Amino acid sequence: MSFPGMAKVDEAIAVTQKKKGKKAAQADPKKARSAVKKARAALEQEELDKEENSSSTRKVAKKVLRVQETTAERLQRRRLEEEQEELAPAPKEKTVKKLGKRAARASPPKAPVEGDPAGEGKPEKRKASTVKSSSPTKQRKVADGTPVAATNELGAAAFRQLHEIVVKGLCPEPFETFAAARPSFGAKLAKALDAQGYAAPTPIQAQAWPIALTGQDMVAVAKTGSGKTLGFLLPALARIAERGPAGQPLKRGYYSDPATPSVLVVAPTRELALQIAGEAEKFAHVVGARVVTLYGGTPRGPQIAECRRGVDVLIGTPGRLNDLLTGDTKRGLSAPVSLEKMTYLVLDEADQMLDMGFEPDIRKLVERCPATGEPEEAGGATGSRANTKRQTLFFTATWPKKVQAAAASLTSNAAVQVRIAQGAGGDKLTLNKAVKHQVVMCEWRDKTHKLKKYLEENLGKNESAVVFSATKGGCDYLERMIQDEMTGIWCRAIHGDKDQWQREEMLTKFRERVAAGKQAVLVATDVAARGLDIPGIAVVVVYDFSSPIQPGDQAVENFVHRTGRTGRAGKTGRALTFFTSEDKGSAGLVKLLDAAEQPVPQSLREAAASDRGSKGSGRKGKGKGKGKGKGKGKGKGKSKGKSSFGSMWN
């Protein structure tokens, strides 16, 4: 390649040679040739750069011309459109009015906002619709008078009658809709609640929220699966949002001060404690609250470390709570947590805790808390006097005399009593009407075959079931039977002999399968009857109605809690119950089924009649037989006849 500047290079080389002389050039010819190559390469690169720059300039010029042409075309088109509009005839007045009315119906005018008096600003985002009702509309306002979105409500009396709510004491009106609760919960919690997709508060939530938020003690009797967990959690988190979280305890050398939670929730089992913690975590983060769960069966170290980081909401079982509140006196270690500032106490499933013998442990926990005071001083109240005294919320699924006595001693005299769907008197065991019951009368040796047949014929491919057995060995046997003889069905068992990590892992997998609509069966003892809140369980099977060491009344109560695992969160469910000649509580079972308008086998009615007629026979040694023999002594008469149960079981 040759360039116009090459002649100048040759001339420069010639001049250099003349100056240095021919001898110098001949002495080092390699250096001379190298210098010539470098000079030529530099000139070639310079020419290439000039050509590239000129081509880029031409491209930019072409783009500018295209943009200018496009802009000119747009301006010309706009002028033509404006001229056509001017020439077109004006629309008639009636047509204008019709169009205006249609526009008004399509998008109703929004109220003006601050900084936009004409209401011409950007349109507001679409809000979720409220629950509709046939009653008149009520307009609620917050403290500063700002109106809240209007909602339709029934009124306190009609709402309580509709949902079978019986109240005793000075009870505020229920929050029938989420819009009614929004001013009390605040914007952050209300937004988190909306994100869960619930349509309306459950009856226990609607009535419990205003009671808890006014600082009153409460005794609530409601069936399992009624939504009471959020009934006591959200008021506590609302007050934490107002006052701020507790923060991390101060460190003093190697150790730190104990954490001082303001909320304590006591549950009877590890499973229920973990479930409550899971619900709390959904909302605690929006108010900056820390939730810590304490339960046995796991090492204490990690739980102590969590407490050292600070606690706002403490959830646990009675045994482990008392354990960590005491500290380690032998090693001279202080307790990682203290209840000296705990002003919001929740006893969940209190009746089961009493049945399990936890009453002494519960009373120890209460003694560590501040004393009960006036509602204005409680943790759920608001104001200058609030958060200085203890407020107690006592939740139970049943209401026998021993539970009534415990509730009276642990709450204030002015505690509000709320009983939901507990019968006319509010103190009866009731079945969930959303569950369809079927009772199968059989002998114990036939139950396995009947269970297998029922699951094969009635459990859908996208459905799940929980099977309740009275013993741990029974759970393991049923797990093996279903796995071996029913190919394709996922089945696991949980009971007290399983390690905690195994139980948690199996429950987690079962929840995942239920949520995904996959077929699954969980076999469990009564450890899962309370607190197992898994929406979507289609079937509950009561494999063992009672046990030899269990009274009949206790078996009936457990039956209510077991079958309460299905038909939750507004869904329907099915329950299958096997009843044998060895089971007790037939009279109570018939009473429950009749009250819920469920079918009762004739053989079960006969067994119940026989059970009621046999009570008290032989008490004074004057029995005359009729199924109990010829007792003449001072104790129980011995039967000499054939049992009447043989003819009524299939």
Predicted local distance difference test score (pLDDT) of residue 255: 76
466: which residues sit within 8 A by CB, 6+ positions away?
A: 521, 522, 523, 524, 528, 532, 537, 539, 540, 541, 565, 566
* 639 phi and psi angles, rounded to 5 deg: -80, 135
* 220 phi and psi angles, rounded to 5 deg: -115, 125
Predicted local distance difference test score (pLDDT) of residue 61: 55
462: which residues sit within 8 A by CB, 6+ positions away?
A: 517, 518, 519
Predicted local distance difference test score (pLDDT) of residue 580: 95
Contact of 603 with 648, CB cutoff 8 Å: yes
Phi-psi sector, 206: left (phi>0), alpha (psi -120 to 50), beta: alpha
| Residues 617-633 pLDDT 10s | 444 444 444 444 444 44
Predicted local distance difference test score (pLDDT) of residue 260: 96
Structure-token pair, residue 640: 């000499």
Contact of 411 with 217, CB cutoff 8 Å: yes
Please name every residue paired with 218 in a beta bridge, in sequence order, or none if there are none: 393, 416
Tell me the C-alpha distance between 184 and 205, whole Å.
13
Contact of 648 with 609, CB cutoff 8 Å: no
Contact of 223 with 560, CB cutoff 8 Å: yes
Q: SS3 of 266, please? A: strand
**Residue that is written with structure tokens 């403490």 in the block:** 314
Predicted local distance difference test score (pLDDT) of residue 129: 38
Predicted local distance difference test score (pLDDT) of residue 322: 94
| Residues 175-210 pLDDT 10s | 999 999 999 999 999 999 999 888 899 999 999 999
Rounded to two decimals, what is the model's pTM?
A: 0.63
Tell me the C-alpha distance between 498 and 529, whole Å.
16
Predicted local distance difference test score (pLDDT) of residue 496: 82
* 369 phi and psi angles, rounded to 5 deg: -95, 165
Picking from 384, 353, 349, 79, the residue whose alpha carbon sits closest to that of residue 220 is 349
What stretches of 129-267 adopt beta strand conformation (E)?
Answer: 137-138, 151-152, 165-168, 218-221, 251-252, 255-256, 263-266
Predicted local distance difference test score (pLDDT) of residue 32: 60
Predicted local distance difference test score (pLDDT) of residue 367: 95
DSSP 88: S
How high is the mean pLDDT in each 10-residue block of the chain (650 residues)?
Answer: 54 57 51 67 68 59 52 58 54 48 47 41 41 37 36 82 92 94 94 90 95 97 84 97 92 84 95 93 96 93 93 97 85 87 96 90 96 95 94 91 92 94 62 91 94 95 95 94 92 88 89 93 80 84 92 88 83 94 93 93 92 54 45 44 40
